[in-house]
Structures are given as C-alpha cells and as structure tokens.
Structure 1
Amino acid sequence: MERTAVNPWDWSLRMGFNQAEIIEGATRQVTCSGQTAVDDNGASQHPGDMRAQIALALDNLEAVLEGAGMTLANVTRLGVYTTDIEEALRNFDLMGMRFGPHQVKPPMTLLGVTQLALPDLMFEIDATATD
C-alpha cells in the first residue's frame, strides 16, 4: 500500500493529521467501530479523566487492529467524538505519541457531542485501516 498526503495547507500537519491521503495498492480494508474507555466486559473506566479515557480508547483501538492483523500504521481515517473538545485537545498529545512512531497522519474529523453510549464516557474513536 502506498499513501500520498494531500495538504493544500500545512496547519493540519502541526495538529498531526493530513487533509487527505491517496491510498494506492491496498488489498484489505478494516472498518473499526467506535472504541472507548471500557474494560473487557464493556464497563466504562476512568470517569472524569479525559487523558486516561483517550489512552484506553487507543489501547482498545490497537487491540481491534491487532485482531485484524494490523497496527496504527494501517489507519487511513479517524473519527473522534468527545463530550469536551477543549479537554480532548489538551490531551491530544497522546494521539501523536501513538501515531507518531508509525509515521502516519491519517485524515481525521473531531466532533463535539452531548453524550456517548455510556454516561461516564467522554471520548470515542473510530477508524478505517487499509493494507
């Protein structure tokens, strides 16, 4: 698979994502449902702690990708949902810490929502991955 970044402006690069990517030579695509800060039984974790919720949601996303034989390096699209955009952005360095070593900046949408599936959840991330 070959990825070609499309960035008519560079401001998104400073935030850790490309405006678009051209994906060529892909053979498989995995669409991941939203991953949140839940344990193995689906119980919400870390109420009120955005940083811990982001970290666990990313752990869960990585587990799903691993189950499909992929890593964060394969992610070609992210959807991020949060009940507190300002707090999520204050902790977005976690995104860079996870995706940075893979040298990918998948196109991303960040949306503020009033509530997620469980009342204690503050952050959810879904992804499309390709290899």
Structure 2
Amino acid sequence: MNNKQLIPTNEIKEEFEAILVENDSIAQCVIHLKNGTIKNKQRLDTRYDEFALDTVNNEFCFSLKDKNSINFHRINLQTFSQINAVTLNLYNYFSSEELKDESYYSKLIYLNHQYLLYFITKREMNYGHPFYQTEIIY
C-alpha cells in the first residue's frame, strides 16, 4: 500500500512549500509547478499513524503506536526539529486482555501549540456516525 500525501504549508503558487507524508518518512519539500518538480529540503525517516498540521505556528504533529503505548511528536517546520514528544500508556485506558489483539481506532486533532485531542476506542468506527456514543438500556 502506498500511503503518500502532499500537504501545502503556504499559498499554492508557481513555487510553494509542502509536507510530503509517505509510509515511512515525513519531508519538507519545495514544489515547482512550472517545471513539475518536487525537491526535498529536509526529511525525517519515521513511521506515523496519524498526523495534523498547524500552518499558523509552523508545526507538524504525528502519533506513532508502539505496542502498548502511543507516542506523540511535534516538529517545528522552520527548523524541521522535534519540539517535544509525549507518551500515552494504553494500560491506563485498556486492560491487558483488551490490548492483546492490538486493534483499536483513533483520531488525532490539533487544537493549538499546547493541546491535541486524541480519541481512541476499541469499537470499529463507522464514518457518518458519532465516534463515541452511549446507549441507555432500561
């Protein structure tokens, strides 16, 4: 499976900057529409599960699942350096029995340079339906 996305970080003109997100790397690129080239400025070889981009604060955030934890990373797009990383231990939210199959569904939402929202559930997501819902049983 080829999972490539090109995300503009400023106004799209004849030449503009973008983030190229591939299966195992994140790169800062310059796109030249006139001659049809993509030139990598900087590249970070890493896997990722989900990502979010904040062009106002020039930050790129991504999550990476690692067995029984999820690591969150922030990258400054001007220097392409890591700002910080936080680890979420899944044992705080699921039992060891639930973590055996390692299948859960999640969504990463960037709020601002201080806060991310991360939704996680063991129930399969059905798009068009609420991510979380409660049932009242009488």
TM-score calculated relative to the size of structure 2 = 0.26
Name which structure has the greater RCO, CA cutoff 8 Å, separation 6+: 1
Larger radius of gyration: 2
Structure having the larger proportion of residues in helix: 1
TM-score calculated relative to the size of structure 1 = 0.27
Structure having the larger proportion of residues in strand: 2
